[in-house]
Amino acid sequence: MAEKTYAGVTINVDEEGYMTDSSQWTKEVAAEIAKEEGIDELTDTHYAVLEFIRQKVSEGATLTIRAIGKSGHTDIKGFYKLFPGAPLKKATKIAGVPKPSSCV
């Protein structure tokens, strides 16, 4: 198992850089992971989406782009703007949860 340091905290990550212990997540850690993923600053909307993702994963729900688009925090188009490129992969990585099985 690999480790990375974000915001002065050593975080356990898998071979793709996803956190293996979501309890280590903080907003400060998220901000540093976001910078690595090419997102310079996280807005309140980013954090609302990240909290939604964390909640759904803790409930055992399967994450999809459609579900996030229906979350009330952003629509699908907005989700792609918040997390450009591969939004579900980036958002889950920044949210400190495991990579969704639907992501390759």
CA distance 30 to 100: 18
CA distance 48 to 29: 15
Angle between helices 87-95 and 27-36 (to 10 degrees): 140
Unique residue bearing structure tokens 């609302």? 48
Q: Which residues are catalytic?
A: 103
